[in-house]
Chains A and B, each alone.
Chain A
Amino acid sequence: MELVLANHSSYPRVGASREQQRLRRAYAQRERGEISADDFNRVQDSVVAEVVEEQAHAGCELLTDGQIRWVDSISHLAGRLDQVEINGLLRYFDTNFYFRQPVIKGRVAGNGPLVVEEFRYARAVSPRPIKPILTGPYTLAVSSIRETPLYRDLPTLVLDLSEVLAQEVRALAGAGAEVIQVEEPAILKHPKDLRLLHKALKPLSQAKGSSQLALYTYFADATPLYESLQELPVDILGLDFTYAPRLPETIARLGSRKTLGLGLIDGRNTRMEAAPQVFPILEKILPRLSGGIAYLNPSCGLEYLPRDKAVAKLRLMKELRDTFLQRGKR
């Protein structure tokens, strides 16, 4: 079994040093009109290159652009669509992070590519493959205020967003993304909408071409939904183990037809995982997986950690993986 080290999605955009805080300063300068949009983009570019390099240096094998350009995982995408305005702050699940809530004023429509250019840039500066991230249609829809009567029913909005995101998946696949990650943390809170999610993922699945489509859930226990998640039209399932004490046992019992993204490294806490916590789970799960490959990744985006801890987690992931595989060979 090949165990690939993958980053999850986001990455801290500032660190402890003055140099590592240049994006924070540039953002403030841009807001005050002291620097141009081009100046600001150059700083963003340099920070993307820096965090890509940092992930690679820590031993990561499938990287992300750290979502450095995203204000948050909801408004970055929703804000680029027609008929969407961005409103006040709302807590993002159970974190201490707040996102700007979209207000849907009319029929949503794409307005050109969303993140393809971001993907192209990250890939150009990266020594390893880059995995683009999209927030899924369901999570985008339930995070929004539906002001237009067109979307009195949630499913209509979910399916319209799905069409928009399918175009993006097609563009990303065309640009050469090997894995495209769609994030749907909200589905764990609303299991009754799984059929709706199934329907909404279909257009994305049809658009993926030769790319692998990954569905990542987090911030709640996926164990009760595990069997239903296996039915969804995706290639990879990403799971957050930090909320799910019974998940290893469930996977060991039921196996997996899909490639799994094992979120065994806590992206929300600074404590460093130790081998006795992680190895027994890997031993239990890995023999039950098909396809010969699994991803080891943090449980969620790493932006909830300070920069020094985020990079330490990635290094730890490599150390644990290498020790685990060595042990197997003995």
Chain B
Amino acid sequence: MSRAKLEKLGLTLPLLPTSTVGSFPKPDYLLQARARFARKEITQKELEVLEKRATEFWVQQQEEIGLDVLVDGEQYRGDMVAYFADVMPGFRMGGLVRSYGNRYYHKPIIVGEIRWPGPMTVKWWRFAQGLTSKPIKGMLTGPYTIMDWSFNDYYPDRKSACLALARVIRKEVEALVEAGAKVIQIDEPALSVRPEELPFAIEAMQMVTDGVPAYFITHICYGAFEFIYPRMLRFPVHNFDLEMSNSGLDLIGLFKKHPFNKDLSFGVLDVHSHKIESPALIKERIAKALQVIPKEALWVDPDCGLKTRTVEEAQGKLRSMVAAVKEIRQALDKAPKRKRRRIEVGSVVKKRRKKIRKHKYKKMRRRMRHKKK
């Protein structure tokens, strides 16, 4: 459905584009370094060297595994709200609040006017995009979720805090687009929490995405979608990335009642399970999705960020996923069609890149030719 939008942006993606939700596990050396940094035993610079090394590792891994739309892996981020609250004027880090069992986190407090501190994610996006010719997604947390996961001492109500955040996230989106990002994912895991607030969550996202030349994805997980579907279809993004396998594929039933009219990134990997799904199981899940979503509108990815898994589990799960998608693509390709169309593998890359990137591009073209043979 949004294929035209993608092509207008210069992105030609294969059928059933594969991607990931954003975070990858941090290698041991990075976890240790983060702990040492927290104890002030190493400098920010020293930590960053390792964050870059881990980012390079994951970009290379994603290429090797054969994913189509890549992420930087968030090796430099901790919590998805605190990462932004830490750098935005207007926030102060609050005391510890329990999230479950014996787990606690520092919940941010909005104490003044929230302002944009200048680009918060662009440096890392550039770094990651410099490592690959495949598109790297810009990764942001949405205004509604940042509002919902923070205390608010300053704004008169939840809506005004949310809209203030929307103005700031809009600036970050513009900065990412200016840097060259074409696909931007803005996560709103809190979206389904208070159905009565959906209208202003939509208004906020409208402020973020309106008129911006990019393809927008929103990831939502652990949602009670039955309370906000089909109203959530008014959310102004091109693609919803939903957790499907962990929720027993319940959503398919909802989609049968009221058709889903956006692109769907369909979560096929349970990120809470150590078990690596077999390609056969993943194919089954994709087949179910194809009953309710046109193949041109379907993307395939894990349920949520893979940061809770080990490096090996994450790699294994993604390999399985890509293998399953390849088989389904072949089957779809063989299926009789009125008009046979070529499916291109990989993405079209902007010309005029640095030498090193040109070299990589050539390599990729070679690989593509090789595949076509």
Which chain A residues have a beta carbon within 8 Å of chain B's beta carbons? 12-16, 21, 24, 27-28, 31, 71-72, 89, 91, 94, 96-100, 269-271, 303-309
Contact = CB atoms under 8 A, between A and B. Distances in A.
B194 A24 contact: no
B206 interface: no
Best-surrounded residue of A16, A94, A270 (most CB of chain B within 10 A): A270
A97 B107 contact: no
Interface string B73-117: 000000000000000000000111111111010010100000000
Contact of B222 (A21, A91, A100): A91
Given A16-B95, A270-B152, A306-B95, 6 more contacts: A12-B97, A21-B96, A31-B102, A94-B193, A97-B98, A270-B109
Contacts of B104: 14, 24
Nearest to A20: B96
A94 B222 CA distance: 12
A299 B255 CA distance: 37
A307 B95 contact: yes
Given A270-B109, A309-B94, A96 B102 contact: no
Contacts of B148: 96
B149 interface: yes
Contacts of B149: 96
B96 A16 contact: yes
Nearest to A71: B101
Given A14-B104, A94-B193, A269 B151 contact: yes
Best-surrounded residue of B97, B109, B148, B194 (most CB of chain A within 10 A): B97
15 contacts: A27-B102, A71-B101, A91-B222, A94-B194, A97-B99, A98-B100, A269-B151, A269-B152, A270-B94, A270-B109, A270-B152, A271-B152, A303-B98, A305-B151, A307-B95
Contact of A96 (B94, B95, B99, B109): B99
Best-surrounded residue of B96, B107, B149, B222 (most CB of chain A within 10 A): B96
Contacts of A27: 102
B153 interface: yes
Contacts of A12: 96-98
B201 to A, nearest CB: 13
Contacts of A13: 98
Contacts of A94: 193-194
Main secondary structure of the interface of B (DSSP, over half): strand
Interface string B149-185: 1011100000000000000000000000000000000
Contacts of B102: 24, 27-28, 31
Contacts of A97: 98-100
A196 to B, nearest CB: 21
B158 to A, nearest CB: 9
Contacts of B96: 12, 14-16, 21, 306-307
A73 B79 CA distance: 26
Interface of B: 94-102, 104, 107, 109, 148-149, 151-153, 193-194, 222
B301 to A, nearest CB: 22
B100 A99 contact: yes
A269 B108 CA distance: 11
Contacts of B107: 96, 306
A164 B169 CA distance: 51
A110 to B, nearest CB: 25
A6 to B, nearest CB: 22
A91 B194 CA distance: 12
A206 B372 CA distance: 78
Name the 3 nearest CB pairs between A and B, nearest first. A306-B95, A98-B100, A270-B151
Contacts of A306: 94-97, 107
A304 B151 CA distance: 10
A111 B253 CA distance: 40
Contact of B153 (A21, A89, A98, A270): A270
Nearest to A305: B97
Nearest to B227: A189
Nearest to B95: A306
A63 B193 CA distance: 31
A88 to B, nearest CB: 8
A182 B118 CA distance: 50
Nearest to B111: A270
A24 to B, nearest CB: 6
A46 to B, nearest CB: 17
Nearest to B155: A271
A97 B101 CA distance: 9
Nearest to B109: A270
Contact of B95 (A24, A91, A271, A308): A308
Contacts of A21: 96
A27 B98 CA distance: 13
Contacts of B98: 12-14, 97, 303
Nearest to A92: B100
Contacts of A91: 193, 222
A193 B279 CA distance: 45
Contacts of B153: 269-271
A245 to B, nearest CB: 10
B97 A304 contact: yes
Contacts of B94: 270, 306, 309
A123 B288 CA distance: 57
Contacts of A14: 96, 98, 104
A306 B108 CA distance: 11
Nearest to B193: A94
Nearest to A25: B102
B315 to A, nearest CB: 25
A71 B103 CA distance: 11
Best-surrounded residue of B98, B109, B153, B222 (most CB of chain A within 10 A): B98
A89 B95 contact: no
Nearest to A23: B102
B46 to A, nearest CB: 27
Given A96-B149, A270-B109, A306-B107, A89 B100 contact: yes
B113 to A, nearest CB: 15
B28 to A, nearest CB: 20
Contacts of A270: 94, 109, 151-153
Contacts of B152: 269-271
